Chains A and B, each alone.
Chain A
Amino acid sequence: MMHALSDLIAYVEGSALADNIRENDFLFPVIESIHVLTICLVVGSILAVDLRLLGLASTDRPLSRITRGILPLTWCAFLFAVASGSLLFISNATKYLGNGFFIAKMLLIGAAGLNMAIFHFIGAKDLPRWESDARLPLPARLAGGASIALWIAVVACGRWIGFTMPVG
């Protein structure tokens, strides 16, 4: 299993695509810019939802209206962030996997997804009953607070990867 995984990593890292990203002076920063841009949209748009969950913004609007109006942008940006992040990853896969901040970033994104899933399937089960309240139930506030903390940590880890992993 581990052997197959390391074979796969060696394969993608040795691919012509990975080679191009690694060697082309222009391609890497362009993909990196797209990654920063889309992560900014993910984090900023989720923050708007989190602040509503915490009762700190848009309290006059029901939660489902906020999520319907904002999350399409979040998901669209997330898709591009994953795509651009994957391209950056394959260009130096072995080095990224050896970097603690990269591993931490992946785990934190997983935790943010889990936090959202738990809220969606358990905390928001009786959503119609309270979604118009200015002050939402404790599970909703906890989910909002955890989301903000996790995404701040994701961005910090992302930035620290660049300072602890010499690329080239």
Chain B
Amino acid sequence: MIDVALRDLSKWLAATPLSHTIQTHGWIIPALQTIHILSVAVVFSSAVLVDLRILGLLQRDAPLTQVARRFIPLIWPVLVILLLTGSLLIVGEPKRSLLNTTFYFKMTLLAVALVLTAGLQWSLAAAPNFWNSGSGQLAGKCAAAVSILVWCGIIFAGRFIAYTQMG
């Protein structure tokens, strides 16, 4: 049922003028992928730098609230570029992602990563002292480790989309 709908959607998208333009100009897809990867670099590095601060591995001379304030706000506008370039890549080659389980796995991991990021940003604003308490530190370290792993999973899944597409 969903399969059929996604196949129809893919067919419809592939027939749009925008998709046709992307397909017939060979430079557009690598250019979009380049912007997409550069944006991943910004978002991923920002998240990892904050996570490494939570884990006490880098930037210990600056308080967590300050490190988080420097890096997390950058994630949201760059995420918009990611969604935009990602959407254009789907319009250009709809079947490659929409009919590919790896793509949905990547989107699920992305949702988890964003919830963790938003949760951290929110909690640092609402209860900054929580992160200095014993249980807060432990919870923070677990969340930071999970965050790094999930972001790594997103990048692996992103690369594997190219290897798991149907036909």
Chain A residues close to B by CB (< 8 Å): 25, 29-30, 32-33, 36-37, 39-41, 43-45, 47-48, 57-58, 61, 65, 68-70, 72-73, 152, 155-156, 159-160, 162-163
Contact = CB atoms under 8 A, between A and B. Distances in A.
Interface in B125-166: 152, 155-156, 158-160, 162-163
B26 to A, nearest CB: 7
Instruction: Give the secondary structure class of B's interface.
Output: helix
13 contacts: A29-B163, A33-B160, A36-B155, A37-B155, A39-B37, A44-B43, A61-B62, A73-B49, A156-B30, A156-B31, A159-B33, A160-B34, A162-B30
B3 interface: no
Instruction: Give the secondary structure class of A's interface.
Output: helix
B84 interface: no
Given A44-B44, A160-B30, A70 B37 contact: no
B9 interface: no
- Interface range, B side: 20 to 34
Contacts of A156: 30-31, 34
Contact of B37 (A29, A30, A65, A159): A159
A65 B70 CA distance: 14
B34 to A, nearest CB: 5
